[in-house]
Structure formats: structure tokens, C-alpha cells
Structure 1
Amino acid sequence: MNTPVARHYALAVAPNGARRTHADHPALPMTPDELGACAKACLDAGTAMIHLHVRKADGTHSLEVPDYEAGIAAVRRAVGNELVLQVTTEAVGIYTPAQQIATVRALRPEAISVALREVLPDAAHASAAQAFFAWLWQSQITTQYILYDTADVAQYWRLRASGAIRPGRHWVLFVLGRYSKGQLSSPSDLLPFLNAWHAGVDAQGEASAETPWAMCAFGPREAECALAAVLQGGHARIGFENNLYLPDGSLCPDNAASLGVLTSAARPLALAPMTANALRELTR
């Protein structure tokens, strides 16, 4: 019997987030060295990308350039270019849109994530946001636009239609269950996103269908949500930023084990995680 050819999906790790600390889990990486060690373990577990949050000396969330430079250097020492290194611009109620944009312009990283609702909260920020989007595209910085609900999906498609977000060099992330009770996600949370997404694809035409999408989810059904996304042709982000637990409700030992829940479930279905270079090609 012939072995089926595996279809590949992008697997990203979000190992720490902006708020959790060692008090939440001792294996949650906070320092540059811890980020480097985590990146290496997650590379070995199948991830193609690390979604990077860094901290100040007191352990709190940072978008400061020196803190990012230290974290980026540590990850590169650990894995070289074998992972896509995605810088987050998350505000966490601390940083303004202008500060988020300034950090990215100073760093010029390989890849970033940016929430539309943070960098473009109202019409007063439209000009600066659109100039930023154009600069990202021109600078060949792979951008992932974070979409929290179907209103964000509609906003994304309006920006595509206006030309503010150009085709190529980006992908999107659906955040499942961000506003659900207890912030616990389920696979059904993906359906409204997909309906809104495909409506936009149909309206925009053939080129829009080439834009990749991924998802992240909260709680112990994280891997189940991720598998549902991969089966629908999407990609997945997993890690301690959104979930510390295994499907049975027990505490997960580390980020690499979180990734393993998905890869183990996907493997019998001829689904395999892609490499960083394959992800770069996918989002170029």
C-alpha cells in the first residue's frame, strides 16, 4: 500500500505572552537565555516560527528596542535561521500605536504580528497605520494581522479593497474565543471566522485566496482547535501564551509538549509541520 504524501502546515509557538510569569509555570520563558532554550526545544518539536514577547528587567511586558535586541540575539544563537522570528507589537494597555510602530521601524525584524484594532483603533490613526502597512510591505517584513472577531475580518477586507494592505508578504491570525466565557475556546469558534474570511475571498477575487490564515485558541482544547484549523487548510499557533494545559486538564510540562499534542494528532492524518524556509516561501 502506498504511503499518502503529507500535506504541510505552519506550526508557530507562542511560548510566553505578555502577562504570565514563572509563578504561572516554571518552564515559561522570560529571560533571553530561557527564550533561546525554548526556541531550540520547540524547533526540535516541529515549530517553524516563534512568536516573541520580551520582558523588562522586572519581568513586565516590553516593546523596548534593547529588550527585543537581547531576546532576538539569544534566539538566533540557539537556532540560527531555522525559525522565523516574529516580533509582537502587542500594546497590553501600555504602548500607543505610535510607539508600536516606532519599535518595528527601529528593529526592522524578519516578521511581526500586529492587531488591527490596536494600531488602527479609529479614523484618527488611519493615515499613520496605512503608511506603516505600506512601509512593512516595501521593507519585506512579513506581517501577520491579528483578527479577534468577524468585525476585524471585515475591517481587514476593507483595507485590502482600498489597497491599504497589499497582496502578499502577510498572513492573518484568527484568535478563537478571546471574548468567550472564561476565555475557553472550542473548534466551533472557528466557523464564524471562516465564513467571514471566505466571504471576503469571494468578494476580492482570485489573488485574495492565496493569503494564508492561522489561528490560536485558549484553554485545554487548544490542540483540538488547531487540528480543526489544519484540516480546513489553515495553520496553527500553540503555546503557553494562551494555554498551560494538556487536553486531559493536567498541567503541560513545557511548550514543546504543547506542540507535540497537535503533531501527534495530525501525523496519522498525513499532516506534517513545515520548515521555517517553507513558511517563508508561503508568506513571501
Structure 2
Amino acid sequence: MADYQLTVAPNGARRQKADHPELPITPQELAQTARACAEAGASTLHLHVRDDAGGHSLDAGRYRAAMAAVADAAPNMGVQITTESAGIYAPETQLACLQALRPAAASIAVREMARAPEVAVRAYGLCAEAGTQVQHILYSPACVAQLTSWYADGVVPAAMRDVIFVLGQYAPATPGRPDGLADFVSAAQTLDLSWSLCAFGRDERACLLAAIQAGGNVRVGFENNLETPEGRVLKDNAASVAALVKAAALAGHTLKRN
């Protein structure tokens, strides 16, 4: 049996209210969601913010507003911003977001930063200077290989060993499957990583339980999935968190809180 930590990703970059009425968009909605998810067992919020049209944004002012609202509503919850491009932003804009915020924690997609290696050097160097806890987003074993190369070349500081493996994808819509975890674990076995897992689709819970069993942490929420394993629509993000915590407890695993 294993101990694990749980992050919630309540909205992501693409879904809208039309996908689920309880998808949080505004700072106030994100704050309410953070409080409910913290009570259900989540220790960290993976934060996306949106522009006035509901589109994905890396605007520092919008991040500051959302982070302040979350801090008021759930003061013990960690907040991790994302620098993900979602097919919109160049690495230079992702770096500018990090420069403006110097956040406590941020996720950075290795394959996105690899588009501009000189920007990657600056981004990881800035995070090291600012004390930002970087979580490398790894979409495939090829991303693990890129990260391995960057460790060897000194692009990524050796101490930055926090990663998240991603099973499945948005487009084309590809659900995650538990058996996909083995390829990531095998590719990363020599790197001494602190790893988490997220997964797309209604098999999300099965994927995350497999990750916990294998010694990883997990990320759950509406960014990746809106359904129960049986195909019913989840009430909200807190319900998603609570269901995973219950399933993990029944399997004998122990949730670690902040």
C-alpha cells in the first residue's frame, strides 16, 4: 500500500461552461472550487486562467487575481500555475509569464520549451533563481528522453526532479489507459524522479489508482475528465476528488495532506 498526494486541475485550457456548468472560470469560481477540493483532500491547485472570452491566458494580472482569491478561500492549499501554450503561446511568452510572476510552483511542458532551446535555458535558470518548484510535463517517453538530455547538458538544473506523466490527449481525443503508465516508468527509471500522473477520459480513476500503487502522486479534475468510470457526469471537481480519495482508501492507500 502507498502514500500519495493529490492535486486538482479544475478547468484546464479548453473546456467551457457548455461542457459542464460547474467548470470554474472566474477567480471567484476558482476560489470556491479550491476550498471545496481542499476539504475533499486535494493539497494543490493546478491553475489555469482565462481571458474575457473564456480563452486560455498566461496574463500575469489574471493569475495574480486568481491566486489571491484562492489564497483567501483555501489558505493552506498550494497553487501551481501553468505555462502551457495550449497551441497559442510561444516559449518567449511562457518565459515572460514566469518572469512577471516568479511563482512558488509552475508546470512547464518539455516539448513546448524544446521549440526554443535558448529560451528553455533562461526559463529554467529563472525558476532556479526564483525558487520556483518546476513540474515538467511529459506527454510521452520522447519527452522523458528530452528531459534526460537536458539534465546531462545542464539546461535543467539537476535538482528539478518533479514531473507529471500524461496519459491520453485532447486532440485527437485519446483516452488514457492504465497500461500506458509502464512506458513512462520504464523510460524514467534511472532519473530518480518525483512523479505524478494525470489521465484523460473516464478511465482516469483507474489510471490514477495504478499510479498510486506504483508509488506516484496524482492529479485529478475537470481539465482531463468529466465522467465517472461508468460514464455518468460528475457533479463538480470536489466530487471527482472525493471519489478518487475514497477509491484509494478502499485499496489501502493513504492520502497525504499539506
Q: Which residue of 1 aligns with 2:111?
A: 117
Please give the per-residue CA displacement for 1:77-135, whole angstroms capped at 9, x wherever unaligned: 1011x1110001111222110011101110111100010111222xxx21221122122
- 1:51 pairs with 36, 46, 49, which one? 46
Q: Which residue of 1 aligns with 2:13?
A: 18
Please give the per-residue CA displacement for 1:118-172, whole angstroms capped at 9, x wherever unaligned: 1222xxx212211221221221100000011111011111111222222334400
Give ranges in structure 2 of 5+ residues lacking alignment: none
Give ranges in structure 1 of 5+ residues lacking alignment: 1-5, 202-207, 277-284
Q: Which residue of 1 aligns with 2:100?
A: 106
Shift of 1:48: 1.0
Matched, 1:69 2:52: no
Q: CA RMSD in A?
A: 1.5
User: Are the aligned partners of 1:88 and 1:114 in contact in 2 as well (CA < 8 Å)?
Assistant: yes
Classify the secondary structure of the residue corresponding to 1:215. Answer: strand
Q: Which residue of 2 aligns with 1:86?
A: 80
User: Are the aligned partners of 1:18 and 1:60 in contact in 2 as well (CA < 8 Å)?
Assistant: yes
Q: Which residue of 2 aligns with 1:142?
A: 133
Matched, 1:253 2:248: no
- Greater gyration radius: 1
2-side partners of 1:242 and 1:21: how far apart? 13
User: Are the aligned partners of 1:140 and 1:169 in contact in 2 as well (CA < 8 Å)?
Assistant: no
What is the TM-score when the length of structure 1 is the normalising length?
0.87
User: Are the aligned partners of 2:2 and 2:215 in contact in 1 as well (CA < 8 Å)?
Assistant: no
1-side partners of 2:59 and 2:171: how far apart? 31
Are the structure 2 counterparts of residues 58 and 180 from structure 1 closer, same or farther at C-alpha, using a change threshold of 3 Å? closer
User: Are the aligned partners of 1:9 and 1:234 in contact in 2 as well (CA < 8 Å)?
Assistant: yes
Aligned length: 258
The structure with the greater share of residues assigned to helix is 1
What is the TM-score when the length of structure 2 is the normalising length?
0.95
User: Are the aligned partners of 1:7 and 1:271 in contact in 2 as well (CA < 8 Å)?
Assistant: yes
**Amino-acid identity (%):** 42
Matched, 1:183 2:165: no
User: Are the aligned partners of 1:142 and 1:170 in contact in 2 as well (CA < 8 Å)?
Assistant: no
Matched, 1:231 2:207: no
Q: Which residue of 2 aligns with 1:31?
A: 26
